[in-house]
Structure 1
Amino acid sequence: MAQFYLYLLIGICLGLLGWGFVRPDRIYQYPFIMGAIFVSFIVPQAIALVENPGVASSVAIERVLLMSCLCAGMCWFGYQSKPNLKLLKKLNVPHNDRKLRQGAIVVMAIGYFFLFLLSRTTIQFAANSNWTGPATIYIFFSKVIYIALAITVILALKNPTKVNIILALVAGLPIVQNAILVGRRQPTFAFLVIIGVCAFYVRRLLPPRLLTLGATVSAAYIIPILGQLRGDFWSAILNGNISSINFEQGLNRVLEGNVLEFRNAAILMDAAAKTGHYGYGTGFWDAIVFQYVPGQLLGYGFKNSLQFNLTSFDTVSLFDYSIPNGSTTTGIGDTFLELGYFGCIIFYILAYYFKNIWISAVYQNSVFSQLLYASIISPSMAGITHGIDRFFQEIILQIFVLMAIRYYLRN
């Protein structure tokens, strides 16, 4: 059955891509983008897990593949729902460019302030090699600069004055630095998507289909090699030394299956199924508490008391498997940990809301919806690669800032 589910997953993902290629304007819409992430990130790991299961049982592999099929399918089914007229009305917020520019400057200043604090902070590392301490707070809140980038790019495309262009360059500078010098994958793709969707909003510009197809296929090679080389990847590109990069090496390492996020998901899902312990949404709450409640200020005991930790399984004692440092459980895994197979409904709900936001942004020309879409499409991609808990962590901040801008635009 594992092979059948694998072929079904590949078929669904190719269907999502095909849906996008039918009409060029669909390449920035939720089903196509999710299909591209599934094809470039999940499918290679699924193939590797089937070929190299490790400690994962055949039942565990079949379960994670079936869950992947359900989640990928919901990305399309949720998008087929009729738009909500009341929601569309709320999303259609009047604005003027002067206030929008002022909002961008304030948000940009906040982003740069937290980047400054981060530059003055010594990075602390937890036992799993992840960042901990104040640095995690500073880098998290510095992400508001993505909103500033979306605003300034839209303004620069609508009215390419020196002021608007300079503001767009200033907003994009730290994101480009983080993408190129540090080699972070999410900032890289977030930057490209924001520029792309904003160009479509204002000028209806779209990349050629062949370029989009090539980028989608190339992502399967670039994502793993970028994760390995980090800043050295872009140094080689900028120095014209592309031949020094072995693009096949990154994908080959994934296919070898030594370290797989997809295996993490399979093992944790197996633990939930065997023990009958599910989070029922508490895991997402725990992630929000982890991100927004500062243990340094309020005490770690108080912070821990706010969390449920219902799905904190000891995989070593259960399966003799330790989740590798720096790896994730994916959105496939954490949604199953919360609601079992019903966790795929989360992808249905996300697709439904993304459709409404897209209609408001494109057909009603709502600048608020354009900013909302550009701001949360990157967290939605991280929702697959890292986990839906990561998505909730990031969109709360983005929506809070955007609601403040919305209030300012209406008054």
Structure 2
Amino acid sequence: MNWLVTWIFVLIVAWYFTAGILRPEKMYQFPFLAAVMTLGFIIPQLPSLASDPFLPSGAYVKTMLMAILCLVMLRFGWSQTARPFTFLNQTFSQRRLLIAAAFLSIVGAYFYFLLSRLPGEISIGVQMTGTPVVYLFFARLMTYGLAIALLCFTRRPTLTGALIIGFDLIFYFDRIIVTGKRAEALELVMMILLAVWFHRRWIVPRSVMIAGILIGSFFMTSMSDYRQITRANSGPVWDYVLEIDVVGNFEETLKEGGLEMRNAVQRIDEIDRRLEFDYGKFHWNKLVFTFVPAQLVGTSFKDALRLNTPKPERNYQPLTGTTETGFVDAFSSFWYFGAVKFFLLSYLVCRIWKSAMAGGATAQLVYMMSIVPAMHAISHQTDWVVQVWIHMALFLVPILAFARFRGMALPSIVGGYRAPAPQLSWR
């Protein structure tokens, strides 16, 4: 039974992946990118778990059934008939957008700089709290500035746009190299590819995409070793980095299994036995953790805002830095019915995609910021993208209000053809 559900899961992932490869425009859509995340992060961990005789009886099957259901619901949520969000279509001045991008980049870069000065043991590969969380919260503004600059530059290249992009990339590469952040690296690649796609309709060749996915999947199993080096030395020491046994780590993952899916198997089996669910309280608690500053309101007040949720058994002690996958938080909320989280997530991201393809500048920006957190619903948690949307609402709404152009709408040039106004207008 273990191998049966494993092969069903693999075939579903292969279906989503193949659909994207055969129709390249689908390579930037959520089902394909979710399949990429699953292929690189989840599937290499399965062979050893499927044949592990020491796992609780039936635990692996329960986990894979939930994973299969989540992927199926994700595909149902991505509808070709979904309508765009009309509120994501505004008219902007490119000059004002570049001013906004420069402002966001400078503010965000300042906090990135402060974050980079912290010791590695409190900022790399750990659950950050206190000051590092505050720095990271505001450092996110630089990402918005970079995304806006990329959209402006790909539509109409200017020296100002190029300077903003170059400035942001200095800090972005520092963040990626020093901390070994896979999410930031993937986000940077996706921002560039999507900006070019939205305005030039250029898509990365299939061979390059496949090669990148395979190489990324291969090196992903060595990121924990890389982070141990950077955490101990507050940055990479290349003599140590070059000694990482990349091949051996990948083979070990195939042979021994990864910790993330092992965590998922243990948690889903435990939740199914106890039948104690949080009914979505998990998401409220995560929002309190992220957006309520204990430094201002006090720890006791912040704790009082949290809702009581079932606690894992005492013998469950996951290694710091590992995750449980989004399948677990979906299961812990509503049992197998929790897969509806993936349906809702896919449905909302699909409507944002439709709005972006219709030419909405706001929608393009939102999709660029949403797609990587949405992908991490597979590998980490389903709440990441919700946090991103709230953060964007807090900081980007006033910025975009400043950049909005209220004059006559002008038709825009998108990918070499003239798109209908007023869906996206720049001046």
1:92 aligns with 2:65: no
Q: Structure 1 residues 309 and 122, CA, compared in 2 at 3 Å: closer, same or farther?
A: farther
Counterpart in the other structure of 2:366 = 372
Structure-2 separation of matches of 1:222 and 1:205:
27
Question: What corresponds to 2:77 in structure 1?
Answer: 78
Partner of residue 64, structure 1: 63
Q: CA deviation at 1:166?
A: 0.5
Partner-residue secondary structure (3-state), 2:383: helix
1:49 is matched with: 49
Query: Which of 273-282 and 6-15 deviates more?
Result: 273-282
Structure-2 change in CA distance of 1:158 and 1:284 (3 Å): same
Q: Give the corresponding residue for 1:226.
A: 223
Point out where structure 2 has 5 or more consecutive residues left out of the alignment: 407-427
Q: Which residue of 1 aligns with 2:23?
A: 23
Q: 1:45 to 1:201 in 2, by over 3 A?
A: same
Superposed CA offset, 1:366-400 (max 9, x none): 11111111111121122222211333333321343
Q: For 1:80, what is the secondary structure of its paired residue?
A: coil
- Provide the identity percentage: 27
Residue pair 1:336, 1:342 contacting (<8 A) in 2 also: yes
Q: Could you say which residue in structure 1 is the equivalent of 2:144?
A: 147
CA offsets per residue over residues 172-219 of structure 1, 9 Å max, x none? 221111112332111111111111111111221211111111222222
Structure 2 residue aligned with 1:322: 317
2:387 and 2:60 mapped to 1: Cα distance?
28
Give, in whole Å, the separation in 2 of the partners of 1:188 and 1:181: 12
Asked if 1 retains the 8 angstrom alpha-carbon contact of 2:49 and 2:257, the reply is: no
Equivalent in 366, 386, 410 of residue 380 of structure 2: 386
| TM-score, length of structure 2 as denominator length | 0.86
Q: Distance in 1 between matches of 2:133 and 2:121?
A: 9
SS of match in other structure, 2:221: helix
Distance 1:129 1:348 in 2: 31
**Are positions 1:270 and 2:269 aligned together?**
yes
Deviation per residue, 1:243-297 (Å, 9 max, x gap): 8664322322322336511111122222222222111110011111111122233
Q: Give the C-alpha shift of residue 21 in structure 1.
A: 1.2
Counterpart CA distance in 2 for 1:15 and 1:190 is 24
Match of 2:356, SS state, is helix
1:199-214 matches, cutoff 5 A: 199-214=196-211
Residues 48-96 of structure 1 show CA distances to partners (whole Å, capped at 9, x for unaligned) of 3213364x313221111011111112222111252235x2x22211112
Matches of 2:4 and 2:184, distance apart in 1:
35
- Give the corresponding residue for 2:414: none
2:396 aligned with 1:405, yes or no? no
Deviation readout 1:130-184 (Å, 9 max, x if unpaired) = 2222112211331222111111112222222221101111122211111123321
- Residues of 1 paired with 2:322 and 2:242: CA distance? 28
Q: Distance in 2 between matches of 1:123 and 1:39?
A: 30
> C-alpha separation between the residues in 2 aligned to 1:84 and 1:394?
22
Partner of 2:390 in structure 1? 396
Structure 1 residues 180 and 255: alpha-carbon distance in aligned structure 2, compared to 1, 3 A threshold: same
Alignment of 1:307-318 (within 5 A): 307-316=306-315
Alpha carbons 2:45, 2:258 under 8 Å: kept: no
Matches of 1:214 and 1:242, distance apart in 2: 22
8 Å Cα contact 2:83-2:354 kept in structure 1: no
Measured after TM superposition, the shift of residue 407 of structure 1 is 2.7
Change beyond 3 A, Cα 1:129–1:28? closer
Say yes or no: does 1:334 pair with 2:294: no
The equivalences for 1:169-188 within 5 A come to 169-188=166-185
Normalized against structure 1, the TM-score is what?
Answer: 0.89
Displacement of 1:406 in angstroms is: 3.5
Is contact 2:229–2:241 with CA below 8 Å preserved after alignment? no
Equivalent-residue separation in structure 2 for 1:213 and 1:197 (angstroms): 17
Asked if 2 retains the 8 angstrom alpha-carbon contact of 1:123 and 1:132, the reply is no
Equivalent residue for 1:39? 39
Higher helix share: 1
* In 1, Cα distance between equivalents of 2:168 and 2:181: 17
Q: 1:108 to 1:243 in 2, by over 3 A?
A: closer
Query: What is the distance in 2 between the residues matched to 1:375 and 1:368?
Result: 11
| Alpha-carbon distance in 2 for matches of 1:243, 1:304 | 44
Worse-matched range after superposition: 224-233 or 322-331: 224-233
Q: Distance in 2 between matches of 1:236 and 1:113?
A: 25
1:106 paired to 2:103: yes
Distance 1:27 1:343 in 2: 27
Match of 2:194 in 1: 197
Matched residue, 1:260: 259
Moved more, 95-104 or 26-35: 95-104
Segment of structure 1 superposing worse, 186-195 or 351-360: 351-360
Instruction: Give 1:38 deviation, angstroms.
Output: 0.7
**Is contact 2:326–2:379 with CA below 8 Å preserved after alignment?**
yes
The answer on whether the counterparts of 1:16 and 1:35 sit within 8 Å (CA) in structure 2 is: yes
1:274–1:225 distance in 2 versus 1, CA, 3 Å: same
Give 1:349's match in structure 2, choosing from 341, 344, 349. 344
Letter of the 1:7 partner, please give it.
Answer: W
Q: How far, CA to CA, are the matches of 1:165 and 1:61 in structure 2?
A: 50
**For residues 38 and 258 of structure 1, do their structure 2 counterparts lie closer, same or farther at Cα, with a shift above 3 Å needed?**
closer
